[in-house]
Structure 1
Amino acid sequence: MSNNIKQTKCFHCGDACAKEIIQSDKKSFCCFGCKTVYELFSENDLSSYYDLQASPGGIPKEIEGKYDFLTQQNIIEKLLEFNDETTQIVTLYIPHIHCSSCIWILENLHKLKPEISDSQVNFGKKTVRITYNTTTFSLKEAVLLLSKIGYEPYISLDDYATGKNKINRTLIYKLGIAGFAFGNVMFLSFPEYFQVSGFWIEHYKPLFRWLMFAFSLPVVFYAAQDYFISAFKGLRAKLLNIDVPIALGILVLFVRSSVEIIFDLGSGFFDSLTGLVFFLLLGKFFQQKTYNFLSFERDYKSYFPIAVTRINKGKETPIQVYDIEKGNRLLIRNEELIPVDGILINGNAAIDYSFVTGESETVQKLAGDKVFAGGKQTSGIIEIEAIKSVEQSYLTQLWSNAVFDKNKEESFTTLTNAISKHFTITVLSIAFISTIFWLWFDASKAINVFTAVLIIACPCAIALAAPFTFGNLLRIFGKLKFYVKNASVLEQLATINTIIFDKTGTITSNQKSTANYEGEQLSIAEATLLKNTLRGSNHPLSRTLYNILDEQNIVTLDHFEEHVGKGMSACYHEENIKVGAAKFVGFQEESTVLNTTVHISTNETYKGKYTFYNKYRKGVSKLFNKLKKAYDLAILSGDNEGERENLKKLLPSKTKLIFNQKPNDKLEYIKYHQAEGAKVLMIGDGLNDAGALAQSNVGIVVSENVNVFSPACDAILDASKFNQLDTYLKASKSAIKIIQWSFVLSFIYNSIGLYFAITGQLAPVIAAILMPLSSISIVVFTTVCTSFLGRKLK
């Protein structure tokens, strides 16, 4: 019976049923906890969890009373990133996340608890971001649910309070143990290296050999366990990942060395074994530290260009959000994102938290209510008082939320994946063929050859090339006021063949445009209402006209509504106003009128119009002439054809000019051309162009001093750098070339190393030293090249 228990594995977690076998539904479990989780999944139609990977679960722990502290409001507030009357959002660190099954079950928590509306896993960081309804569910219940299904979160209030990243101390411990063992094994190997005879041979040789064996045990079974676990999971899922050849090499070295010690055939290869693991971990530690140093997410936040208007002594001035301090009074216009948590001072707050919660329902707030960062104001102007400074990492998370770019990511294969797809199987084939050859001609060299091949051909350099190249370029772009969301956007920029521009606010400058008024003189009340209506909008024409008009008293509008692509309507006391297109305000415009115009009507009576004379951005003509050599160019404008002749003179002859385009028309235009094979870059102002920006392969928003932040875009370009767009596109293509050259260098390294390994001239320990050195050289190469590229951009 006892042998049967040892041989039986738990259906849920995969551990051996060492104490007892618990049967349920013709399946075996090691404990009642695993059985309970299985039944829970089965009852809620989540049994597919076991289809993705066999025995993927963790053993649930008894945690009675452990999380009682999560009932204290002051602690909950520290942990939550969003909290209103009905919805809370928390991001929890889950150490047990390790495979596709983990991701699948954690992103289907809503099936276990309907109160959970959304859960998103970040596999790299081992976190899950949970959105839940607070009326019938709590943070404590969420944590208990995760623990019940074997995914107990790690909660450290110090980490949440300081915002510091968790350090992987386990890697440091493993590196220390491997280094200690390697040093001692090398020391114990000296007598045999120098072929000491006599007293050594008679008394201490067996002792030293068994000591080397003992030192190798924690190295193989603890320090190197990540390679075995990763390889095993890959093989179980019928995948050959890059850890398979490494794990195989370590295993072969250990088995061969142990056999030699046990049967007194020799001293084995324990020096090579411990050295291999030590240098592998040293390379991994170096990669982690260097990549953390270059991390885009931590470094770019100080350059992030979201601007907001601060009210100080009645004066309105735009500031960047990281300059916001506690107690600042902020003006939030229609369609603007709230950058910090604050208290509503005045205005009609109708806040859309869909960027944060996924729920598109607007929430009404009254003066004195708390409002949260990430909400978008949808009903005119509000004023808030900041109750904390900006957490840039939160806005980064919002911009990088997978909800807003899933389709783009799924349809794009990265360069690294494309090149390294068949790498492992090639390496294994070379290793086995060369080993068989040496077994035939000189069996004493076979084990060394097999191990050296697996080590020297480790694809670490290939895996590092893209992250380091793109990571460094993202930082350089940030310093040059081009703020790109992630590395995938840079890679997609290099594939673009079509560029589509919006006109107003994109190739024209809001700050330099002028406007003439034609029509009936506005009364003081009407002028005040017009100024305050424009004050609430972020449309480029609204901002331009607002800056042109005389100062008026600031009033809180009773009603404000912005109709995308048409105009705005507002009322104050008994006065009503409409501002926008002629048809919107009830005026039949003559078909011969070609200039850009904004019409005004008050109390259903037409008053007049402002005619705009555009000032194009500096260097537009030169920029388009450079771009036409490599790209198809088009202008999609919502305005009429008044600027067609000017644009014909200004832009290259092959530029397509299309006017009177509504937001949906722009989206459909892009979709049509994508269906024809075009890779589209859309450049717009971020408000009316949100749909087109989201539909395009890459969407860039051009930002003036006041900016509507939109997760629909992939990058934000400072307006002052608009004429340098071509250099950024060239740099993206250069980054791809740098990565390709890195692959060439890696291939040369591997070819030379494989020659010496296959011919039996390379010891495994030397291969283990060379492998991290090759990785370091790739990192240095990509960093130097991207830095040189950055200097050229400047």
Structure 2
Amino acid sequence: MGHKTCFHCGLDSSSSEIIFDEKSFCCNGCKTVYEIFSVNDLTCYYDLQQAPGATPKDIEVKYNFLENAKIIEQLLEFDDGETQVISLYIPHIHCSSCIWILENLNRLNPAVSSSIVNFGKKNVRVTYNSETLSLKNLVTLLSSIGYEPFISLDDYSIGKKHIDRSLIYKLGVAGFAFGNVMFLSFPEYFQVGEFWLEQYKHLFRWLMFFFSLPVVFYSAQDYFVSAFKGLQSKILNIDVPIALGVVVLFIRSTTEIIFDVGSGFFDSLTGLIFFLLLGKFFQQKTYTFLSFERDYKSYFPIGITKISSEGNEESIQVYDIKKGDRLLIRNEELIPVDCILIKGKARIDYSFVTGESKTVSKQSGDKLFAGGKQLEGSIEVDVLKTVEQSYLTQLWSNDVFKKNKELSFTNITNSISKRFTMAILLIAFLATAYWLIFDSSKAINVFTSVLIIACPCAIALSAPFTFGNILRILGKKKFYLKNASVIEQLAKINTIIFDKTGTITANKETSISYEGSQLSIDEESLLKNTLRGSNHPLSRSLYQLLNEHDIVSLDYFEEHLGKGIEAVYNNRKIKIGSAPFIGFTSNTTTLNTTVHISSNNKYKGTFTFYNKYRKGLSKLFNNLKNNYDLVILSGDNEGEKANLKKLLPTKTKLIFNQKPEDKLEYIKYHQTEGAKVLMIGDGLNDAGALAQSDVGIAISENVNVFSPACDAILDASKFDQLHHYIKISKSAIKIIKWSFLLSFLYNIIGLYFAITGQLAPVVAAILMPLSSISIVAFTTIATNIIGRKLD
């Protein structure tokens, strides 16, 4: 019987005798996967790579532990009884075809609603219907198509760093072989006469050949795979010239020792791969460090209200939450931890976690998951486990909420790398052709040196390392960006729009007076409990002012964004908000922000707020006025217009009485006129405007209004530093451009020596990672210098 290979996984299928669709398979698992692909019109997967699957090994028995409810609960990020979400680390993810198949899981099984791959961390976040697909079956499906997850029950946690040791092993093999090849090359270097020529020449040369085999076929395999995938997808990536250089060196060297015309270039070959991997290892370690800083040290300035055993309320940072704490979750507030509902009516929106906008109602005693948003008044919960800050980062950066905002520098980097590779290949072939005519002995050295010295790795590293360090620096300064693209967008803005209440005003320093009918004890209690459920800055200020009252669960609560709040308790109705919302018409005008109240549709009175503007407001606007169009876009009346005109530059536009939808339309219109808009708001009423703007910043004053609509969160205490943060984003773009220039200069100088035949391949191999390291060092030092200016 002839040797056959499995069409799916590539293993020997001679003994299996499993034939389907005129194709041979080693097991029923591989045949089943092929059938699934065929039925779902996904057989083009096999065009992406040859035998892509990895054979499942006893997967049915192996994952029986995933039928245990306690283990499942430990692994899941989210579970509401119908929808489950889990992040799985998958070591087999290595190329574009892996991403393609894993993000098409919903076509393999309709129970999967979404699957998002994080290529850098090699994990996939899967949202699926647990009523039709169990976790065990999901893991079995992934294993059967060649992507077996790594699951550790001992130390599994969200955001855990899984170390891929394959690079270390490849680096070790390449280093061992390089050292030995160099040692065996000494007689050739020093021209040791009789000893070399008569006795050991052939032995040493063949030993060098055998030492180079594991280096070429194991250590360098990632470069070959990447280059092959790129060419297969008609893309010239940066690994193409490297792979080509390695192949040419190996074939030329092997030919020389077979025909006894020379000792070859095995020292250059093994040295090249060793130094390439050394540079790659350095890059990986540095990037992992930046990622660690981002995930675990850049805590968001989000506060949550903790209820003490005496019933007192205090605001604490989310990372100070402990198991067993009692927390107050207000309307529109994010639940930061897994908890048990104790008091109140919970209507939870889990779209932040699942991407699906439907809401679920929960009763006292039900479990609530981190990432849900409360939509109906306030609730009290008991904490089950402490916050995973990296989990909040993951939620915020969820691809479900990403807008199609232009990623200019990412595209520039990719296009430069692509064109650069094409140019280098052309130069290499032309230079080789020249030397073949004038001095053929130098041709192979010139060809390989050109391919290696001019690799655009340094160009590709400029943007990620610059942006990564800027994200870390700004995080330490209490300015938290969603991702690197926000820096690019922030550098391009020309219009800055500010909300007023809670944005340019400081809630904690606001004074309030009341004018109207005396509120009864019942009315004041109902007012206090209604305000308790709201996160609006005015509601929070007024709530702190009122006397303590017994806490009750309201029969009805609804917050109308930009208008007001209404609530019902024991058939008593209260409305708080703007005059039109209450149904009140006044003949007098006021110069201050006002909130009106009615009880059982009877007008009671008015609370007047005397705003205190944030420290450094006037100075901030004066720093911004020369470079940006400045706008105050407020939902309040024009009462503060005169005061603001005195405080702010004359060119500042002041627009009042704007509903949330009016703000959104204002931004949209000016964007069509060419404006690049930065919107700064409180994250609640301004969600639409924040999402529409090119960059949306939510001001945080120990308030847990954590919205996917914003691109950045700014601690209120750092409001007056905003112009410095914008300046840093512009400096980051300049650093990238300078690093591009340095990389080009390095390549031009290196190419000169390579083309003229003055550069050995091994020297080129040493210089190439050094250039990458120098670019990383330059971007790190430069970003740290501009970061120190904030101190």
The TM-score normalised by the length of structure 1 is 0.95
Deviation digits for residues 21-70 of structure 1, max 9, x if unmatched?
9765576767654443232122124345456x354731442423111111
Task: Give the 3-state SS of the residue equivalent to 1:291 in structure 2.
Answer: helix
Query: Which segment is superposed worse, 763-772 or 413-422?
Result: 413-422
Matched residue, 2:383? 386
The gaps in structure 2 that reach 5 residues or longer are: none
Shift of 1:615: 1.6
The letter of the residue matching 2:516 is G
Task: Give the 3-state SS of the residue equivalent to 1:455 in structure 2.
Answer: helix
Matched residue, 1:452? 449
**2:506 is the counterpart of 1:509:** yes
Shift of 1:437: 1.0
Matched residue, 1:124? 120
Task: Give the 3-state SS of the residue equivalent to 1:158 in structure 2.
Answer: coil
**2:143 is the counterpart of 1:138:** no
For residue 274 of structure 2, the aligned residue among 274, 278, 281 is: 278
Task: Give the 3-state SS of the residue equivalent to 2:160 in structure 1.
Answer: coil
CA contact (8 A) 1:414 1:488 kept: no
Distance in 1 (CA, whole Å) between partners of 2:177 and 2:515 is: 87
Correspondences of 1:18-417 after superposition (within 5 Å):
25=21, 33-47=29-43, 49=45, 53=48, 55=50, 57-62=52-57, 63-161=59-157, 164-295=160-291, 298-299=294-295, 301-312=297-308, 313-408=310-405, 413-417=410-414
Distance in 2 (CA, whole Å) between partners of 1:17 and 1:253 is: 35
Distance in 2 (CA, whole Å) between partners of 1:493 and 1:21 is: 61
Distance in 2 (CA, whole Å) between partners of 1:684 and 1:414 is: 30
Deviation digits for residues 528-564 of structure 1, max 9, x if unmatched?
1111211111111111212233333333323221111
The alignment yields a C-alpha RMSD, in angstroms, of 2.2
Deviation digits for residues 129-175 of structure 1, max 9, x if unmatched?
11112222210011111122332222222341586311110000001
Percentage of matched positions with identical amino acids = 74
CA contact (8 A) 1:116 1:133 kept: yes
Matched residue, 1:724? 721
Distance in 1 (CA, whole Å) between partners of 2:128 and 2:559 is: 31
In structure 2, the CA distance between the partners of 1:251 and 1:87, relative to structure 1 (3 Å rule), is same
Distance in 2 (CA, whole Å) between partners of 1:412 and 1:260 is: 45
Query: Which segment is superposed worse, 779-788 or 153-162?
Result: 153-162
In structure 2, the CA distance between the partners of 1:85 and 1:731, relative to structure 1 (3 Å rule), is same
Deviation digits for residues 265-304 of structure 1, max 9, x if unmatched?
1110000100111001111111111121222664554532
In structure 2, the CA distance between the partners of 1:409 and 1:89, relative to structure 1 (3 Å rule), is farther
Distance in 1 (CA, whole Å) between partners of 2:566 and 2:705 is: 20
Matched residue, 1:667? 664
In structure 2, the CA distance between the partners of 1:42 and 1:671, relative to structure 1 (3 Å rule), is farther
Correspondences of 1:494-533 after superposition (within 5 Å):
494-533=491-530
Distance in 1 (CA, whole Å) between partners of 2:50 and 2:494 is: 47
In structure 2, the CA distance between the partners of 1:757 and 1:21, relative to structure 1 (3 Å rule), is farther
In structure 2, the CA distance between the partners of 1:48 and 1:688, relative to structure 1 (3 Å rule), is farther
Distance in 1 (CA, whole Å) between partners of 2:385 and 2:154 is: 18
Task: Give the 3-state SS of the residue equivalent to 1:130 in structure 2.
Answer: strand
CA contact (8 A) 1:438 1:445 kept: yes
How many residues are matched?
789
CA contact (8 A) 2:293 2:472 kept: no
CA contact (8 A) 2:37 2:43 kept: yes
Deviation digits for residues 573-599 of structure 1, max 9, x if unmatched?
232211111122222244845532111
Shift of 1:643: 1.8
CA contact (8 A) 1:302 1:322 kept: no
CA contact (8 A) 2:323 2:384 kept: yes
In structure 2, the CA distance between the partners of 1:150 and 1:700, relative to structure 1 (3 Å rule), is same
Distance in 1 (CA, whole Å) between partners of 2:734 and 2:406 is: 21
Shift of 1:395: 0.6
In structure 2, the CA distance between the partners of 1:20 and 1:141, relative to structure 1 (3 Å rule), is closer
Task: Give the 3-state SS of the residue equivalent to 2:630 in structure 1.
Answer: strand
Matched residue, 2:600? 603
Deviation digits for residues 493-549 of structure 1, max 9, x if unmatched?
111111111111111111122222121110111111111211111111111212233
**2:425 is the counterpart of 1:431:** no
Distance in 1 (CA, whole Å) between partners of 2:158 and 2:375 is: 33
CA contact (8 A) 1:10 1:55 kept: no
CA contact (8 A) 2:139 2:148 kept: yes
Shift of 1:405: 1.3
Deviation digits for residues 302-357 of structure 1, max 9, x if unmatched?
53212101112322111111111111111111111011111112111111111011
Correspondences of 1:499-578 after superposition (within 5 Å):
499-578=496-575
CA contact (8 A) 2:238 2:418 kept: no
The letter of the residue matching 1:261 is I
Matched residue, 2:621? 624
Distance in 2 (CA, whole Å) between partners of 1:431 and 1:571 is: 79
CA contact (8 A) 2:498 2:504 kept: yes
In structure 2, the CA distance between the partners of 1:56 and 1:478, relative to structure 1 (3 Å rule), is farther
CA contact (8 A) 2:303 2:316 kept: yes
For residue 735 of structure 1, the aligned residue among 727, 732, 736 is: 732
In structure 2, the CA distance between the partners of 1:469 and 1:684, relative to structure 1 (3 Å rule), is same
**2:697 is the counterpart of 1:709:** no
Distance in 2 (CA, whole Å) between partners of 1:17 and 1:430 is: 46
Task: Give the 3-state SS of the residue equivalent to 1:407 in structure 2.
Answer: coil
In structure 2, the CA distance between the partners of 1:496 and 1:66, relative to structure 1 (3 Å rule), is same
CA contact (8 A) 2:9 2:55 kept: no
Distance in 1 (CA, whole Å) between partners of 2:227 and 2:11 is: 17
In structure 2, the CA distance between the partners of 1:161 and 1:517, relative to structure 1 (3 Å rule), is closer
In structure 2, the CA distance between the partners of 1:393 and 1:770, relative to structure 1 (3 Å rule), is same
The letter of the residue matching 1:209 is R
The letter of the residue matching 2:74 is K
CA contact (8 A) 2:620 2:720 kept: yes
The letter of the residue matching 1:664 is E
The gaps in structure 1 that reach 5 residues or longer are: none
For residue 746 of structure 2, the aligned residue among 735, 744, 749 is: 749
**2:771 is the counterpart of 1:770:** no
CA contact (8 A) 2:105 2:115 kept: yes
Distance in 2 (CA, whole Å) between partners of 1:177 and 1:660 is: 70
Matched residue, 2:789? 792
Task: Give the 3-state SS of the residue equivalent to 2:567 in structure 1.
Answer: strand
Task: Give the 3-state SS of the residue equivalent to 1:152 in structure 2.
Answer: coil
In structure 2, the CA distance between the partners of 1:791 and 1:199, relative to structure 1 (3 Å rule), is closer
The letter of the residue matching 1:187 is F
Matched residue, 1:691? 688
Task: Give the 3-state SS of the residue equivalent to 2:125 in structure 1.
Answer: strand
Distance in 2 (CA, whole Å) between partners of 1:239 and 1:15 is: 29
